[in-house]
């Protein structure tokens, strides 16, 4: 059962090291994951306002890639006059992001409300690039997850941990040993015209289109109700399963050469869109026709780039979509994903 907390249960370094050694030695994954209480916690942040939202809101979704540049990100969020942001890949106590709880720093800077949940316990310092450039030799907490932050109070927040994603297959296969699994977050937002649902997830890139659709079906079956809804996040709509190919970058280039707009307009290749449409969602007026992937200074992601981050609405009017470059004041990239935004209106 999910426990709402104001402070996460930080797993000690000794437990993380023991788990890494044990799973590396072939011990069952499940009993070790069960020892990390934070996987069943939903952290709540309280903002400075108790005001109710109007019937017009500016919504954003952003994979902030660790959130290390939370200060510059807060400036971009303010520049876009956003009211709610759906966040993916936020760190807490990771060397690669200077040990900050990046969601907490962002909510404090903005004076906003928020919810955060742990997706993965990171048992090492991160990916190959991060392993080569640590700021400290050890993580103080080793937590990585998703969040919803809001100018206005969030009611009845929840955490959904996908049944198909126990995280065990992640352990060494993709060079980032982890415990945990993909999640979704949600909450209610009170407006002048009634409550709306806010939902976000970060779907798996190392699976295929059918797997992503199955995850979304589970989420909608479990959590979607009759109210108007904003849904979005990093849906990783790559249109194929990279684990089926020895050279997924080459396969992606070949697919893009045959169908140049495949990755910008992946609807025909990702059944999650048909599923969302059947549940009453539309995305046409919520999104631009631009890539949301932004190459970083390290040269990744590689072209061809695509739109893998999405906003969708149900029983709401959406307009004025934007894809905002993830660039700071010094023109340095803040993330390998751009920020996407739109305005919603209750009718």
Structural domain boundaries in the chain: 3-345
Interval 258-304: pLDDT, tens: 999 999 999 999 999 999 999 999 999 999 999 999 998 777 899 99
Distance CA 232, CA 198 (A): 9
Q: Which of 301, 312, 307 is nearest to 249 (CA)?
A: 301
Q: What pLDDT shows up at residue 29?
A: 85
Q: What pLDDT shows up at residue 149?
A: 98
Bridge partners (DSSP) listed for residue 158: 186
Average pLDDT over residues 14-36: 93
**pTM for this prediction:** 0.97
Q: What pLDDT shows up at residue 347?
A: 81
Superfamily the domain 3-345 falls into: Endonuclease/exonuclease/phosphatase (3.60.10.10)
């Amino acid at each position: 059962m999910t426990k709402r907390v104001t402070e996460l249960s930080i797993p000690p370094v000794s437990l993380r090291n023991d788990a890494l050694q044990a799973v590396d030695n072939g011990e069952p994954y499940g009993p070790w994951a069960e020892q990390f209480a934070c996987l069943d916690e939903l952290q709540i942040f309280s903002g400075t306002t108790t005001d109710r939202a109007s019937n017009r809101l500016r919504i954003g979704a952003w994979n902030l890639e660790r959130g290390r540049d939370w200060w510059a990100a807060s400036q971009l969020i303010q520049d876009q006059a956003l009211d709610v942001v759906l966040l993916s890949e936020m760190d807490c106590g990771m060397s690669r992001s200077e040990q900050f709880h990046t969601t907490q720093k962002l909510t404090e800077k903005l004076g906003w409300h928020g919810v955060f949940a742990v997706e993965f316990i990171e048992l090492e310092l991160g990916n190959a690039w991060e392993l080569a450039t640590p700021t400290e030799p050890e993580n103080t907490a080793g937590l990585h997850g998703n969040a919803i932050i809001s100018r206005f109070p969030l009611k009845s927040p929840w955490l959904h941990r996908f049944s198909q994603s126990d995280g065990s297959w992640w352990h060494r296969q993709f060079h980032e040993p982890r415990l945990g699994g993909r999640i979704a977050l949600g909450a209610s937002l009170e407006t002048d015209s009634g409550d709306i649902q806010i939902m976000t997830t970060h779907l798996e890139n190392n699976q295929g289109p059918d797997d992503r659709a199955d995850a979304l079906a589970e989420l909608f079956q479990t959590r979607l109700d009759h109210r108007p809804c904003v849904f979005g996040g990093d849906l990783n709509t790559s249109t194929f399963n990279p684990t089926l190919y020895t050279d997924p970058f080459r396969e992606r280039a070949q697919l893009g050469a045959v169908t140049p707009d495949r990755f910008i307009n992946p609807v025909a290749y990702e059944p999650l869109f048909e599923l969302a449409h059947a549940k009453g969602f539309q995305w046409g007026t919520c999104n631009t026709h631009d890539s949301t992937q932004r190459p970083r200074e390290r040269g990744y992601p590689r072209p061809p780039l695509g739109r893998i981050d999405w906003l969708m609405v149900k029983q709401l009017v959406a307009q004025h979509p934007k894809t905002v470059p993830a660039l700071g004041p010094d023109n340095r990239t803040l993330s390998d994903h751009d920020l996407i935004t739109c305005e919603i209106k209750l009718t």
